[in-house]
Each structure stands twice: as C-alpha cells, then as structure tokens.
C-alpha cells in the first residue's frame, strides 16, 4: 500500500502517521521526494479509507505486488521520463545508439554524428566497462567521460553511460543525462542506493538471470531511496541456447509494461549478440510494445575493441530506424 501525502504536508503529521502504522506492527518506508510518500508493503488489516482521512494524506493506493512504487497500480497512466526535449514512454520509440566502449575522440565523434543523422535521439557509450576478465580492456574511465562531454556538447545528443561503483556516481552524473546500471549490477544494492540519491534518470538493465519480479524490485530500490525516474531495459537472459549470446525475453516487454508504469526499452544488441539478428529483433521489441531501443553502433565494427560482432554499421542502423518506425507508425495508426 502506498500513502501519498501532499507536497505541503506537515512533516510532524506525516511522522504521526508513520508512528501509528508502526505501532500496528507494520513496516513503513518513508520516501523523501518532492512530496512525502509512505510505502507499507504489508497492507493486511489496513483500511484505506481510515488512512485517507489523516491530515496531509493525498491518496491511498492498494498495491497487489511485492514491488510497490514500481507497480502499475501506483500510476495506471504510465510514466513518461523527460530528457531534454525527449520523452521516454510517450508513444514514439526512443532510439539510443552508440558504440559499446569509448575508444577515442575520433571514433566517438564519428559515430555520434552518424547515429544522429540516422535518427538516433540519444547517444550511448561506455567509459567504465564491466569485463569478465581483469585483463580485458576496462574502458577509458574518467578520460572517457571527458570525451563524452565533448561529444554531447558538439552533437547536442543527450548521453547514456554506465556507472559501476557508488563512489563514481557523482562524476558520472555530471556528464551523463541518464545513468546506466549494467546487467551484472542489477542487484548491487549499494550502487542502486547511490544512483537513487542523485536526480538524473536511471536506465536499469535486467540482470541476465534475474526474474522480472527481481528486476522490478531492483527498480523499487532506486525509487524507495528517492529517484522515481527509472527506465527498464530488457537485454536478453541466459538460457541453454548457444546460437545467440543471450535470449532476448520478448515476453518481458508486455509483462513489464503491464505490471509496471515505468518505460521499458530493449537492447537487441546484447539480446542477440550478432549483428545479423539485431534488426529483426529490434522490430520485434517495438512491435511488442517497447518504448525504445538501446543499440550498439560502431563506424567500423570489425575494428571495435569490444562487442564488434553485435554492432551495427551506421548504414544498418539507418535501416533499423526506418523499419522500427514503420512498425511503430502502423501500430499507432490502427489503435
């Protein structure tokens, strides 16, 4: 159950409500945002009408899931997240493209111009790279962030980049328009709390073997600690199939859209691991209702330092843009 207070509610009166609920043996989590929000996951024996009557209470919303703030019950109309002029979750698919890793100024600028021209709304590139082996290229780090800031200034494209450690959040948040939590960190709870305590939107990739419920509960961590701008991203799960790097869980798109009000993107690059399959799976994700795509594009995939195999060329990306737009337009026209 969620108890939303008015923005001007008297904190003492909110505290009294908290004390009251606790005295009845309930766990209460107070989210300190622009307006006080109380989360009370166990709603047995609580009467919404009684709580509604407390001073400062605006709305009382029963929730049917373990995740509360992330549940569609809380915001049936869906959430739109604004980044500059772009609104994620607003019908038009948002296309975020760029290389896996920042390799150099030239590579970055060249790719950014190419994807912008092809129709990308935002740019993505990794300065900090989570790599399975300590001996693989780990990203350019803060030097990469500087390059990213430059590209952002020059192309006007908002940027998405991954953050891997709580202590790096402030610096990454200075440059990035959206902070990405990678698949390996979906349950890195101290990192989730760190990105919750800054205002930039958070793109939360599904853990490669996380259930949809665990994914929504990870989003709940970010929201419970104060940041309601969470964008979900399905990026493929780990299965027994070996022809593809991961198995993009297409079901997860309508499931997450139905259970949660948060926008849902898909990443067909990691979801397939092979450039030849990225475009059809990108079309599928949009057809399934995804609010946008996160796609790896490299000006010369065969020279990429990482993930070259799954990167589109700018030309292929342009074709993808045309096709996903055709799908999206056709569906909006008949609905």
Which member of 187, 197, 198, 308 binds a copy of itself (CB under 8 A)?
A: 187
We find the least distance from the C-beta atom of residue 181 to a copy of itself, in angstroms, to be 12
Report the distance separating Cα 203 and Cα 262, nearest Å: 11
Residues from 114 through 133 that contact a copy of itself (CB under 8 A): 130-133
Which member of 91, 189, 300, 303 binds a copy of itself (CB under 8 A)?
A: 189
Which member of 237, 275, 293, 316 binds a copy of itself (CB under 8 A)?
A: 237
Residues from 6 through 45 that contact a copy of itself (CB under 8 A): 27, 29, 39, 41
Question: Looking at 8-16, 102-110, 113-121, 327-335, which segment touches a copy of itself (CB under 8 A)?
Answer: 327-335
Report the distance separating Cα 286 and Cα 303, nearest Å: 29
- Residue 259's closest CA among 75, 80, 72, 74? 72
Tokens 């590209």 belong to residue? 151
Nearer to a copy of itself, 109 or 287 (CB): 287
**304: number of Cβ within 10 Å:** 19
Q: Can you state the angle between helices 212-224 and 189-196, rounded to 10 degrees?
A: 40
Q: Are 290 and 264 in contact (CB under 8 A)?
A: yes
Nearer to a copy of itself, 147 or 256 (CB): 256
Give the CA distances from residue 99 to residues 120, 209, 277, in Å, rounded to whole numbers and listed in that order: 13, 24, 17
Question: Looking at 119-127, 149-157, 173-181, 276-284, which segment touches a copy of itself (CB under 8 A)?
Answer: 276-284
Residues from 131 through 160 that contact a copy of itself (CB under 8 A): 131-135
262 touching a copy of itself, by CB under 8 A:
no
We find the least distance from the C-beta atom of residue 199 to a copy of itself, in angstroms, to be 19
What is the sign of the dihedral through the CA atoms of 31, 37, 41 and 45? positive
Site pattern 205..224 for a copy of itself (x: CB under 8 A):
---xx-xxxx--x--xx--x
- Residue 320's closest CA among 291, 282, 273? 282
We find the least distance from the C-beta atom of residue 326 to a copy of itself, in angstroms, to be 4
Tokens 């019950």 belong to residue? 73
């Amino acid at each position: 159950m969620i108890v939303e207070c008015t923005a001007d509610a008297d904190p003492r009166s909110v505290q009294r409500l908290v004390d009251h609920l606790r005295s009845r043996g309930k766990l209460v989590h107070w989210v300190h945002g622009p307006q006080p929000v109380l989360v009370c996951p166990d709603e047995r024996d609580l009467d919404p009408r009684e709580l509604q009557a407390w001073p400062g209470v605006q709305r009382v919303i029963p929730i049917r899931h373990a995740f509360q703030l992330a549940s569609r019950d809380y915001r049936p109309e869906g959430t739109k997240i604004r980044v500059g002029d772009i609104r994620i979750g607003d019908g038009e698919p948002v296309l975020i493209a760029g290389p896996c890793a920042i390799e150099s100024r030239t590579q970055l600028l060249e790719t950014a111009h190419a994807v912008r021209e092809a129709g990308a709304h935002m740019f993505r590139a990794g300065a900090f790279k989570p790599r399975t082996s300590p001996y693989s290229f780990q990203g350019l780090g803060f030097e990469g962030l500087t390059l990213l800031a430059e590209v952002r200034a020059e192309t006007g494209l908002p940027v998405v980049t991954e953050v891997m450690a709580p202590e790096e959040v402030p610096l990454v948040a200075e440059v990035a328009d959206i902070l990405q939590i990678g698949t390996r960190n979906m349950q890195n709870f101290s990192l989730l709390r760190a990105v919750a305590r800054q205002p930039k939107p958070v793109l939360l990739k599904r853990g490669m073997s996380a259930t949809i419920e665990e994914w929504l509960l990870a989003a709940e961590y970010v929201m419970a600690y104060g940041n309601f701008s969470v964008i979900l991203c399905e990026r493929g799960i780990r299965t027994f199939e070996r022809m593809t790097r991961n198995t993009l869980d297409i079901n997860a798109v309508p499931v997450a859209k139905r259970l949660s009000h948060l926008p849902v993107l898909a990443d067909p690059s990691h979801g397939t691991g092979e450039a030849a399959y990225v475009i059809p799976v990108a079309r599928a994700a949009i057809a399934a209702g995804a609010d946008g795509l996160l796609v790896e594009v490299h000006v010369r995939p065969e020279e990429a330092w990482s993930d070259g195999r799954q990167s589109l060329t700018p030309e292929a990306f342009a074709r993808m843009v045309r096709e996903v737009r055709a799908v999206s337009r056709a569906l909006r026209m008949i609905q």
